[in-house]
Structures are given as C-alpha cells and as structure tokens.
Chain A
Amino acid sequence: MKLTLRIWRQDGPRDKGKFVAYPVDDVAEDMSFLEMLDVLNERLTLKGERPVAFDSDCREGICGACGFMVSGVAHGPQKLTTACQLFMRHFKDGETVVVEPFRARALPVLKDLIIDRSALDAIVQAGGFISARTGSAPEANAMLIAKPVADRSMDAAACIGCGACIAACPNASAMLFTAAKVSHLGLLPQGQPERRQRALRMVAKMNELGFGGCSNHGECEAACPKGISIDFIARLNRDYLSGSLFEKPEPLSSV
C-alpha cells in the first residue's frame, strides 16, 4: 500500500523544526511502523538526505525506548501497543499519517522524533526505590504477600517508562508514570517504611521538572501501552496527601 508520512523534522534542540511530507509507495502489511521508517531511512540515506532519527531498541514492546505520536495518538491507533508493535495492516491505502514527537516542556526534542526523557529518571531518583542495601535482605519467604496484593503491585510495575502518558495528557502531566512507581512499591510490605516520603519526594520532583498537573482526564490510561490504570493516581494522591498531613519531608539519607 501507499502512504504519505508527514514527519516532524528538527535538527537539534534549538532548531525550530517543521513537517516534511514523504510518500512511501510499497508498505507491506506485515511491517511494523518502525520497519517502515527503517525502509524510508534506507532510501533517504541513498538519496543523500538525512534519515529520520527515532528511538527504538527491543522492538518487542517492553523496553519503552520507542514512541511518538501517530496521527494524534501516542504510539498510534492500536490500543495497548507500542509503536514498534504497531503493524501497517492497521492503516489504509492512501492514508496520510502525521508523525510527531511526544511533546512536553520536561521532555524536550533532541532531534526529529527523539526526545530527552531523563526527567523520568530524575523522578525515580527522587524516591522511586526501596532502600535495601545489597546483602542485607532477609529470606525471601519470611515475608508473605497475599497474591492479590502482589498481582496489583505487578499491574503497576508493568510501566515501561515510555512517556506516552505524558504525551497524551492534555496537561503534559507525569502523574500516571509517578503513580505507577509509587503504587508498585507502596503496595508491597517491604515498601511501607518509605511509602509517604516516596510520594512526597517524587511529586515534588515532578513538579520541579515542569510537568503539568493532573485533571483526571484519563487520556494517559487510554494511551498507555501497558494499560496502567488511573486508579493508581488516586493511590498516589492518597499517599501524597496523607504524607503531607502526617509526615515532614525528609532529605534522602545514606544511613
């Protein structure tokens, strides 16, 4: 099939950037979206033009490296799917597809479709961990965790950190990402001692980085390739508000 791609081209962080249209004539149905871009890039290279820069790695939907907007939807029209697992059979012959990077002040464009997601690392560094020194762990089965609790924690832990939630949010908020991490750890007994401090620190960091606030639109959940529920946002809110009521924010300490 034939498609027209309108792709965002931007040379560097300070470049203004613009859309460029690329007709692609022989798109096979069983190509992934990224493989189609590979094919386009090979041609651009041979023509002496610059290939389109985009992030990808595992190409099986788990590493979270890929992701951009495909005609207005993060990772494209297929639900619960990352861009690398989006296959061309879901597009119509002759369609024009708009491809642009995830946009948020906290996730600036580096080049073309590549964005800088180090803000997500910074949020995790602020508190997205359980402080357990290597070697200090007790016997794993000494602590029982009810299956529904472990399963629920796993639901939150499934986040791949791709940033689609932020891209889809009308406010460019990182609440779902943060909530997933806070819930994953906060649901588990071993995550209890730091539960509220974790929420306080991560929310403060998220705020500092310039993400928007949550207006409970639910766009994040709809765009999430792992289907992470906004119920976890309510949980984060609970931890944060109760933390504000009952605890003083403490700086992170190595002891």
Chain B
Amino acid sequence: MLAVLASYRTLLGKKGAMAITGAALFFFLIGHLLGNIQIFFGPEHLNNYAAFLKSTGEVLWLLRAGVLACFLLHIYSSLLVTVANQQARPQGYAAKRSLETSAAARTMIYTGSMVLLYVIYHLMMFTFLRTGPGYSPHDVYRNVVLSFQQPAISAVYIAAMLLLGAHLFHGAWSMAHTLGLSGPGYKPWRRMVGPAVAAAIVAGYISIPVAVLAGWVR
C-alpha cells in the first residue's frame, strides 16, 4: 500500500492519480446527467429523485466528499504535472509543428480551470442557492426552469459544457490510456469512441437549457 503512495512521487504516479480521479469524476458526470435528464419526465419525477438523494443522508455526504476529494486531487496533481512539464523544456523551439496532438489536448489545463470556475458558480447556484432567481430548496424542477429561462445563465452553462466537452474529448481516452486500458487495436477508441462519449455527455447536459429556452420544458 505504501508503494502505491510512493508511486505518487513520479509524474507517472501523479498521472495515474489524475486518471483515477478523472475516471471517478467522469462517472459522476454520467450519474449526474442521468439524474438531471429526469427533468424531461416532469416536475414530480425530478423532485422525487432530489428528495430521494437527500433522504440518503450520510451516503450522499460521503459521495459528495468523495467527489470533492477527487476534484482536489485531480486539480492538485494537474498543477504539479503542468509545472514539471514546463520545467522539462526550459528553452522552447523557434519553430515547432504539431503532427498528432489536438487543440483539446494542448489546452487541458485551461479547459479544466474554466470548468472549475464554472463548477463553483454552479454549486453556488443550485446547491447552496446563493445566487439565481428566487429558489426554493424543495422544488428543484422550478429552480432549473427559472434559471435556464434566463438566456445569460443558459449561455454560460452551454459555454461551460462545451469547455467540459473539450476536456473530455482528450480526457476520456487519455485516462483509459494512462490506466493502461489500451493496446494494439485501440486506436479507433482514441479517434472515435473517446470523442463520441464526450459528445454524448455534453449533448445530454446541453439538452436541458436548450429545452427550457425552446419552451419544451417549462
């Protein structure tokens, strides 16, 4: 067990931690999305689901603590790795052409930071109810609809989800690779499945403000 902690000393160990926490957050995103899209089944459905979550008590707090811990470790590791990577080439190239990498891969630290800012704002709005128009702690459905009816809030949300999409575009495949879940014949995964999963998640999330703005959900 100590050896596992010792492995955190290397960049590869840190990447492993990022991949594991990234994977946990990835699955959280999927779970969260599955909860959110219940909005399409009507107010009762969503509010019951929210009530059920709250009724689990300690379990919910454990889950929240877990997600928070993953967030913190993911971010902390990414900062250490980014700094080390920059130090690994003190003098850059006068000319450098990229052959393979994507814009998404090169901007992970930025998309990640933006998503972090958005998550704070998001928690303030929907969890702590400190911002947003006239919220009620027991009517999640109404809170969501009221918020997304404001184009500015929807726009910020959609933008944040697109950044998240960019993060996942590289991250979904990258975490699998870092955890060694790759091998000969996995290239299609990298090219197709990773981005497809990212696109599906982002589309799922964006569907909610779009539906509210379009008046399908009111």
A and B in direct contact, judged by CB atoms within 8 A: yes
Cα(A200)–Cα(B97), bound, Å: 33
Cβ-defined contact, A233 with B99, below 8 A: no
Cα(A213)–Cα(B92), bound, Å: 16
Instruction: Tell me, yes or no, whether B53 is within 8 Å of chain A by CB.
Output: no
Instruction: Tell me, yes or no, whether B61 is within 8 Å of chain A by CB.
Output: no
Instruction: Tell me, yes or no, whether B40 is within 8 Å of chain A by CB.
Output: no
Cβ-defined contact, A213 with B3, below 8 A: no
Q: How far is the CB of B16 from chain A (nearest CB, A)?
A: 5
Residue of A nearest to B19 (CB): A237
Instruction: Tell me, yes or no, whether B56 is within 8 Å of chain A by CB.
Output: no
Instruction: Tell me, yes or no, whether A150 is within 8 Å of chain B by CB.
Output: no
Instruction: Tell me, yes or no, whether A1 is within 8 Å of chain B by CB.
Output: no
Q: Which residues of A contact B13 (CB under 8 A)?
A: 240, 244
Interface string of A218-255 (1 = CB under 8 A from B): 11011100000111011101111111110111000000
| Segment with Cβ contacts to A, from B44-52, B148-156, B170-178, B198-206 | B170-178
Between A and B, how many residue pairs show CB distances below 8 Å? 152
Instruction: Tell me, yes or no, whether B87 is within 8 Å of chain A by CB.
Output: yes
Instruction: Tell me, yes or no, whether A51 is within 8 Å of chain B by CB.
Output: no
Cβ-defined contact, A210 with B88, below 8 A: yes
Cα(A241)–Cα(B183), bound, Å: 16
Residue of B nearest to A245 (CB): B4
Q: Which residues of A contact B55 (CB under 8 A)?
A: none
Instruction: Tell me, yes or no, whether A170 is within 8 Å of chain B by CB.
Output: yes
Of the candidates A175, A207, A239, the one whose C-beta lies within 8 Å of that of B9 is A207
Taking CB atoms and an 8 Å cut-off, the chain B residues in 131-176 that contact chain A are 170, 173-174
Cα(A217)–Cα(B174), bound, Å: 9
Q: How large is the interface on A (under 10, 10 to 19, 20 to 34, 35 or more residues)?
A: 35 or more
- Apart from A170-B106, A244-B13, 17 more pairs, CB < 8 Å: A152-B184, A171-B88, A173-B11, A173-B88, A210-B87, A212-B89, A213-B15, A214-B12, A215-B85, A215-B105, A218-B101, A219-B100, A221-B100, A223-B99, A238-B179, A244-B3, A248-B3
27 residue pairs of the A-B complex, CB under 8 angstroms, read: A71-B97, A72-B96, A73-B99, A98-B94, A100-B94, A100-B95, A105-B90, A106-B88, A152-B184, A171-B85, A172-B88, A213-B85, A214-B178, A215-B85, A215-B174, A217-B101, A218-B100, A219-B98, A221-B100, A229-B184, A231-B182, A235-B180, A239-B180, A240-B7, A240-B16, A241-B16, A247-B3
The 7 closest A-B pairs by CB, nearest first: A238-B180, A212-B88, A213-B11, A234-B182, A244-B7, A72-B97, A217-B101
A residues engaging B (CB < 8 A)?
6, 8, 19, 69, 71-73, 98, 100, 103-106, 152, 168, 170-173, 175, 200, 203-204, 206-207, 210-219, 221-223, 229-231, 233-235, 237-245, 247-249
